[in-house]
Amino acid sequence: MKKNSFIEGTLIATFAIILIKVLGMIYVIPFYRIVGSDGGALYSYGYNIYLIFLSISSAGIPNAISKVISEYNALDLEEAKVRASNIAKRIIGFISVVAFFILFIFAEEIGKFIIQDLKGNNSYQDIAFVIRCVAPAILAIPLLSINKGYLQGHNYIKPSSMSELIEQIVRIFVILCGSYLCLKVFNGTLSMAIGIAMSGAFFGGIAAYIYLKIISNRNKEQLGFVKHPQKDKISSKAILKKIIAYAVPFVILSIVLHIYNFTDQLLILRTLEKMNYSASDVEFIASSISTWATKICAIITAIATGITTSLIPTIVSAYTQKRKKDVNRNINKALALSFTASLPLVLRN
């Protein structure tokens, strides 16, 4: 398995993320043809709630783990970096289980909060059902994020990017095939079709996790997954503090972003309902603005995400080894790439 330089890693990560975002935009067209605007609105309700809980359980973890692993790798702390990965898995495992049970148990209450007095279209029971269908993904995706962060910390960007692509392809396959078979072949209900589509996140996460597990098992020595006779002089408490300190800012930003989108959706629902729009029109407009329309800007954010994926381990490694010239050079490269690629897209939009 080959390590990637900053530029090479950025190109790989950016290309993969752009491809993922393009697939995420394209699948919406056949999906809407299959489930209609009512199904699209129901999917939007479950998806926005899922993103909030996913942010709580895993946002920032890949970057935090990448940063910690890169730092310990630069200092030749082989045992400490493996211990950091295991500590992160225990933290995420606990948070994910709690988030899963909250989402599963209080699905009906969440559905009632979303729909409130809006009647004549999707019911709160329908929303609760699709939320429960996507809840298992909260258990799979966070653990996947640990493995991605571990590989990124070693500057292995390609396997991490490939796992994201596999996750998206499997997810879209389940969404399109599952909803089509449910509605067109087996004559199932709309809520059942959307529930199957929502479960695509879980199956995509499992497929990507298996891929990374295979890659990790094939490269145990390169990744430090060997028995270490001596424990490094870094306490588990210090590792835990470092992971939390690195992850919290990303978690807060991600949660705020998704709550902002969810609040948008609720405000649009309430406002259009008061303006006496039909329930079908209200849900279509709200889901279009809060969920589907945002995919148009996904390409711009993909470039920044790709740069970040490669930049964090590269800068941390250079900074840890006190190579300040490399730190400055990589930051300048990141800024140049960002302005060169993102600025024209922003102006074009």
pTM for the structure as a whole: 0.82
Percent of the chain surpassing pLDDT 90: 22
Measured CA distances, 49 to 110, 172, 174, 207 (Å): 9, 19, 20, 23
* Furthest CA-CA distance within the chain: 71
What are 235's two structure tokens? 């306490």
Question: What does the alpha-carbon distance between residue 41 and residue 184 come to, in Å, rounded to a whole number?
Answer: 19
Which of 110-119, 165-174, 201-210 is predicted with the least confidence, judged by mean pLDDT? 110-119
Q: What is the pLDDT of residue 106?
A: 94
- pLDDT tens for 260-315 read 778 888 888 888 878 888 777 877 777 777 666 666 666 666 666 656 655 666 66
Residue scoring higher pLDDT (138 or 220): 138
Which of 164, 215, 199 minimizes the C-alpha distance to 23? Answer: 164
Kindly state the tokens that stand for 173: 């396959």
The pair of structure tokens assigned to 248 is: 């919290």
DSSP single-letter state for residue 293: G
- Name residue 129's amino acid: F
Query: What is the per-residue pLDDT across 165-200, written as a single tens digit (0 to 9) for each?
Result: 999 999 999 999 999 999 999 999 999 999 999 999
DSSP line for 172-201: HHHHHHHHHIIIIIS---HHHHHHHHHTHH
Q: Is the separation of the CB atoms in 103 and 83 below 8 Å?
A: no
* pLDDT digits 0-9 by tens, 224-248: 777 765 777 888 888 888 888 888 8
